[in-house]
Structures are given as C-alpha cells and as structure tokens.
Chain A
C-alpha cells in the first residue's frame, strides 16, 4: 500500500457513518529494525481532515506563530482534529478504513501530546515532498510517496520504502496531468509502471531533508539522469 492511498481514504466509524478523510498519518519509530535507519517507522495514528495547505503549513505545532492572520486561519482548520490510533482500526478496504469506535469516542490530541515514546514523524509535514540527499551532498530525488506494508493481526503497518520519481508522483497529482506524467515516466524507464523504490534501510537521517547512506548513482531514480548525462550533456564539449 502507498501512503498516498492511505491519505485521502474515507473513514467509517463503528456505526457505519462516514466521518471524513485521512488528512495526515503520524508515524512512530518503533518497528522491526530496517538497515542503518534502525527501528522502522510504523503507522501510529491517522488524523481526520483534509490533506491541504492547512495541514502542510504546520501551524498546529508549538512555536509557529506568524503572520498572525494566516496562523489564526490555518490553525483553526487543523488544530484539534480527531485522531484515530491504529489500534482502533478494524479493517482496511479499498479507499475506506473501518473503525472499532464511534465518532464520539475519538480523541483530539496534538502530535506533541503523543510525542512521548520513540521518535514521531508527521508523514505529511515532515517526510512527504522532502529532498533526498546522498552522502556526498548530491540531490537524489524527492520523497514522492512511501510504501507501507500492512501486517496481519492488526499490528501497525511498517514503512518499508521511499517511492521516488515521476511514476510515484503521478498518482498524487492525479487527473490528466498525472496520467501524462506516468506515461512519460514509463516510457523513460522502458515500460515499467512500478515507481522507483528506495529501501528505508538506507535512510541515515530525517531533518529538513532526508539523507541517504548510498550514493545517488545507486538508487533507482538515477536512470534518467544517467541517460541525459550520457546521451546529451557529455556530448557537449566542456561538460
């Protein structure tokens, strides 16, 4: 499953009522070990709301204040959103998530309230759309999406891979531009429609960018760069 599919899924409570969409996913670093990253990120909670500018601006966090009118407006739309802990999820269906709880039983904590055990990451705010950088400081693509592995028996899903490149991005853009981007990407990569994947095991750090432990030349997003380098740029004198 992809993070982009999880975000935007509809949430249905125990009474069968549709109570909104997944607007963000909170991850916690307490899963099984994955490469140099250490414990893997697992899905801890789903935030109900829209995954729009308001949730990407991050005004619900402490210390983000200005400019006052923008902060006020965006915070009003994101603060105190209902949060579903993964243990309250009953089933995952196509585009729909069923809960064990009724809408009225859901809490409204902030990510700071639950930031107690293990590192917590807001997937929408701190991971998605971030720059990937290799150990030499070279840029290696974006976190266009995440691959999430569902576990049996209600255990929290584990984030296994970073999906990068236009193939992964296309689904998030959607519509005609998305379809166009996907077909361009498939053609550039010899017909493959699976997006380029980078194991989370090679992630060294997540801060305002995501640092990898392998060179950009070893990750799957490098194919197009390499082709352009070998077939166009290196043919020009002085490259």
Chain B
C-alpha cells in the first residue's frame, strides 16, 4: 500500500521538468488560460502512451525502443533513433542548462559557471545510484513545487480571474499560427518521449510481472494527472501575474515571480528546491534515455540493474550524452530557447514511437490476454491521428511563426 502511494507521488513529482516549467509559464503569460485545454489533452495522451508502454514492457520484457526496432524495421527505426537521439540530446542540454539557471538564481553567479559542475553531478548520480532509489528521492523532492498551486490560490482567491481567460481561441493580440505553435509546444512538454523510454525501461529493470500491472495503472492514472494539475497551476500563476500587463517571459527568474509575490522568500526557497529536484530527476531520465534508445536499437546490454562494466556501451552512451549536453549548454545558446526547440521537435517525432507501441499493445503474441480494450483503442487511435497532424504541422508552423517569436 505504501509502495503504491509512493509510486503515485513519485510520478506526480517527476512529471514536471524544464519543458513544462518553460512552456506553461510562457503560454500562461501570453495566452492566459486559453491553451489550458492542451495540457489536459497532453496529460490524457501521456497517460495512454505510458500505460501501454508499461504494460507492453511488463508482458513481453521488451522496452519501447526494442518494439520500435521490431515493428518499424532497420531503416525506419534508424530514422527514429536519429531523431529521438538528437531531440534527447537537446533535452539533456536543456535540463542541465535549466539546473544551472536555478543555481544562478540562488547564488547570483552566471549559469555558465554551473553547467559543467551540474552536468558532472548528474553523471555521478547516474554512475553510483540505482534507478529506483534516485527516482524516488528526486521525484518526492519535486513535490515541493505544489507551492505554485497555493500561490495561484493566494494571488487569485477563488480562481475567478484565472477561469475568465479559459478558452479555445487566441486573444485579440495573437494570431492563430502562434496559438497553434504554442499548443504543439505544450503537447510536446506533456508528452515527452523520454518519459516513455524511461518508464518502460524501468518496468523491465524492476522486473515487473502481470501482478504489477495494477500498480502501473495507478501510478500513471493518478500520478500524471496530478502532475498535469501542477502544470496548469504554473500556467495559471503566470497568467494572473503577467498576462494583464502583456509581459512575455524570457528568463527563468520570471517563472518564479508569481510564487515570490504570493509567499515571499520562503515560497521562493521551496519553489527553487522543487524546481531543482524536478529538473535534476529529468536530467537523469533524459541521460539514461539516450543510453536506452541507442542500446535497445542495437541490442546492447543496457540498464542500471547490472554493473556498469556489464553494460559498457550503454554507460558510454550515457556519459557521452551528458558531455555533449554540457557542451551544448556551454555554447551560450539560451537554455530557455533550447528547451522550446526540444519540446516542439519532441511532439513532431512522437508518431514514430507511438505507433509501434499501439500495434504491439494489441498483439496477443506479446500481450497474451492483456491486449488493449476496445474503448482504450478508440481513444488511442484518436491520439494517433492527432499526433500525425501535429507532426506534419510542426515544421511549417515553426517557420511561419519564427518559432513563436
């Protein structure tokens, strides 16, 4: 019982990362709650995707990229590997850069100074700690982000002003193309592929059996929506503070402003602690995901459940991706910008990973009697169509809107 509760809280605390922090704050400031529905759609999407991936991994012991390779074949899986790996590197860089920005806020020293130190810290934790332990420690610490929820309530008691801006169309000051572009960014932030690589590989590492499927469902069905509520609170807080003044966000310090306004220093400390923990755990997950995707494509031994010397190439890829992430972050390209690109491209690449999982989740050869139910298939198919549309629209929208500028 306690284990289940812990799992839900871990999924909750681990839901938010730099992508959600940036995308939700940014859209809240520019669009009020007019894009809030996308967060709801995105959470439903990641719940469906992660539950299927977890169930496939439990029943067949095959994590996501194994399935991608089997179903897409050498050529398309290689294309997917290229895209996923590149986006994942950007995400590693964004998370490390985000961590450094948090420390810059605390210390006042330039973030570039912190990038190498934090990158190395991420790698040491990966090298030394077991998957399940680090997941719990950082996931639970990330729960202090709940302070945002209270801040929103304090700034806007009864949520009257927040609810006022809820809608399905852009405000008068913004066009439809920009609105659609940020919708994709929010979807990409909620449905980041690395979460699924990580989640399904974790199910194999922890030796889940069909008995654990119920726990899988509870974690996903409760933990992720709670994380979604947190994302909405971040959006709402930014909407209440910034939207009326037409301020657009360009720095992480602005993300923290609503909480500072509501609770002063104590609130800020809690928020920064939560942000650090949440982004740190995301940095761990993305670095591991680099190893998972590459190893599972080529069939190398992977995982943190064996000693590093027994999964040498896996650990080499993890190490290399942290190093490259540090180097990208050190280019002085704004980490916020890297984050924006990583989530938008992540949304565009989703169908290539989602489709194989959807197909295999229906295949009794892997799933025995645990294939998708009809209602689940109906929703899952609607999401597949949605993801394909998003994928086709992303690059044109990126060009038309100059990436939302």
Binding site for B on A (CB under 8 A): 51-53, 56-58, 61, 63-71, 128-132, 138-142, 144, 164, 166, 169, 172-174, 177, 208-209, 216, 221, 224-226, 228-229, 232-234, 236, 238-239
Instruction: Please name all residues of chain A whose beta carbon is closer than 8 Å to the beta carbon of B265 when the two chains form the complex.
Output: none
Contact of B313 among A164, A177, A208, A225 (CB under 8 A): A225
A169 touches B358 (CB 8 A): no
B120 CB to closest chain A CB, in angstroms?
12
Bound Cα distance from A56 to B70, whole angstroms: 8
Contact with A along B309-329 (1 / 0, CB 8 A): 110110110000000000000
Q: Which of B82, B295, B308, B358 contacts A67 (CB 8 A)?
A: B358
Q: Give 10 new A-B contacts, CB below 8 A, not counting A61-B365, A239-B308.
A: A64-B362, A68-B377, A68-B381, A70-B381, A70-B384, A129-B73, A142-B69, A208-B61, A216-B301, A229-B309
CA A209 to CA B77, docked complex, whole Å: 18
Contacting pair A164 B299 (CB below 8 A): yes
Q: A66-B377, A208-B60, A233-B315 are in contact. Are A58 and B363 (CB under 8 A)?
A: yes
Contact, CB under 8 Å: A132 / B299: yes
**Across the two chains, which residue of chain A brings its CB closest to B296?**
A131
How far is B313's CA from A140's CA once the two chains are assembled, in angstroms? 12
Cross-interface CB contact of B312 among A57, A63, A139, A233, cutoff 8 Å: A233
- Please report the C-alpha to C-alpha distance between residue A224 and residue B164 in the assembled complex, in whole angstroms: 60
Interface pair A53/B302, CB less than 8 Å apart: no
Interface residues of B (CB under 8 A from A): 60-62, 66, 69-78, 82, 127-128, 295, 298-302, 306-310, 312-313, 315-316, 355, 358-359, 362-366, 371-372, 374, 377-378, 380-381, 384
- B299 contact set on A, CB distance < 8 A: 131-132, 139-142, 164, 221
Given A216-B301, A225-B301, does the pair A131, B66 have CB atoms closer than 8 Å? Answer: yes
Q: Is the CB of A56 within 8 A of B71?
A: yes
- Which residues of A have CB within 8 Å of B66? 131
Q: Which residues on the B side are within 8 Å of A63 (C-beta)?
A: 364
| Measured CA separation A169–B316 after assembly (Å) | 21
Given contacts A139-B301, A142-B299, A208-B365, contact A236 B312 (CB under 8 A): no
Q: Which residues of the other chain, B, contact A166 by a CB distance below 8 angstroms?
A: 298
Instruction: List the A side residues contacting B308 at CB < 8 Å.
Output: 233, 236, 238-239
Say which residue of B74, B355, B380 sits within 8 Å of A172 (CB atoms): B74
Instruction: Report chain A residues within 8 Å CB of B128.
Output: 238
Q: Which of B73, B307, B378, B384 contacts A51 (CB 8 A)?
A: B73
Q: List 18 A-B contacts (CB under 8 A).
A: A52-B73, A53-B73, A53-B76, A58-B359, A64-B365, A66-B374, A68-B377, A69-B381, A70-B359, A70-B384, A131-B66, A138-B310, A173-B75, A174-B75, A208-B62, A208-B366, A228-B313, A238-B127
